[in-house]
Amino acid sequence: MEDTQIHGLLSALPQPALLITGRERIVGSNGKADALLAHRSGGTAKTPAPSLAGRHLITVIRQPSVIEAVERAGETGQNQRARYLGSEGRAESTYQVHCGPVALNEFRGVLVTFEDISEAEANDQMRRDFVANVSHELRTPLTALMGFLETLKGPAAEDPAARERFLTIMLDEAGRMNRLVSDLLSLSQVEAASRRRPSQPVNMLDLVEDTLSGLGPVAEASNVTVETVLPDQPVSLPGDRDQLRQVLTNLVENAIKYGGRDNTVTLRMERLTRDPMLRQAGVRIDVTDRGPGIDPLHLPRLTERFYRIDSHRSREMGGTGLGLAIVKHILNRHRGRLKITSDLGEGSTFSIRLPLQQ
Ligand code: ADP
């Protein structure tokens, strides 16, 4: 095969590809392979990387598993796979390398193609982390429950006062597991519906009233006053009422929990004729507390699942660490936004924006 034919064929492939002959000499490469392997062969991001044709594979890829897979494919005539770790820019990327033997007339070689599997790998890692986190979160209350059950069966069997105390703690721990499971279910329901745009008209003033009356007992228990500043005109937007209620509930409940006892929480709603973030008319709802505030260091990570500033305090308050992750997912589904601002010692504002039209 001639070089131009090889180049033409390789250029038609969607992934980076190299053609290699007998002693690991590269006889052809496409532009994507030149670019992918450029950092090892002197190319820069600005100029197209020089062709790798003519070079020896070992000088281009210094990862033994890839070289071995190419050799094995040549020797055995069977497809081989390997993993190539690239480092384009700063981000690490992972490629699945396919080595396919080629026999065309007299020509014997190996076609090496690179499939970018970084995203799939990152998703896998996220799933593994999530399962590990969930297991850990469930195990803590479960261990406590089992411990108390053992004590109730044994040493505390005949002690009514201890029994009473332990049952109260057990009820608490079971409640924690229950909240965690309901938050997990909410999260998976929101994710499952994420591609369906919500369309039911939601009366936002009504929704605020409903949400706050639902939270009445929680506010009362902490002696927190929730004040509202609402528009005079009704505001309606396309949404999923139950989900929007959950957003408001989570934000106001957090403001009550973390804002501190005997304090005031403010819910302010405003209609915006044109919001620069949404690029259309929208509604902004700010939930402000006057608690200790949040160190800016934590702000970017607050909506991650199970991210808590102070795990002990969150647990004490009955938190699952999923509230803000649920808020973020619901807002994404509604094409809305969440912005958190906070001054240490002054309090925090969780501000959401929702478009008036989908
Ligand atoms: P949790 O169930 O722990 O409350 P969230 O996802 O609702 O989980 O919140 C994540 C973390 O963000 C909380 O653990 C808390 O540290 C912090 N946080 C949330 N809301 C506030 C607030 N109003 N003031 C201070 N910290 C907050």
Question: How confident is the model over 35-69, as pLDDT tens digits?
Answer: 998 764 444 556 778 889 899 999 999 899 999 99
Nearest atom of ligand 1 to the alpha carbon of 311: 14
254 CA distance to ligand 1 centroid (A)? Answer: 6
CA distance 167 to 178: 16
What pLDDT score does 38 carry?
79
200 CA distance to ligand 1 centroid (A)? Answer: 29
For ligand 1, atom 11, name the residue with the nearest CA.
308
| Predicted confidence band of residue 89 (pLDDT cuts 50, 70, 90) | low
For ligand 1, atom 8, name the residue with the nearest CA.
321
pTM of the full structure: 0.80
For ligand 1, atom 16, name the residue with the nearest CA.
309
270 CA distance to ligand 1 centroid (A)? Answer: 24
Cβ of 294 less than 6 Å from ligand 1: yes
**212-240: per-residue pLDDT in tens?**
999 999 999 999 999 999 999 999 999 99
308 CA distance to ligand 1 centroid (A)? Answer: 6
Average pLDDT over the chain, rounded to an integer: 92
Cβ of 287 less than 6 Å from ligand 1: no
What pLDDT score does 40 carry?
47
209 CA distance to ligand 1 centroid (A)? Answer: 23
For ligand 1, atom 20, name the residue with the nearest CA.
254
Cβ of 252 less than 6 Å from ligand 1: no
Cβ of 319 less than 6 Å from ligand 1: yes
Phi, psi of 40 (to 5 degrees): -95, -5
Q: Which residues contact 64 (CB under 8 A, 6 or more apart)?
A: none
What pLDDT score does 5 carry?
85
**3-32: per-residue pLDDT in tens?**
788 888 999 999 999 999 977 899 999 999
Cα torsion 238, 243, 245, 251: sign: negative
CA distance 351 to 247: 11
Question: Residue type for 65, please?
Answer: S
What pLDDT score does 288 carry?
98
Average pLDDT over residues 310-314: 86
- What CA–CA distances, in Å, run from 326 to 60, 208, 320? 46, 18, 11
Cβ of 308 less than 6 Å from ligand 1: yes
Average pLDDT over residues 179-201: 92
**96-106: per-residue pLDDT in tens?**
999 999 998 88
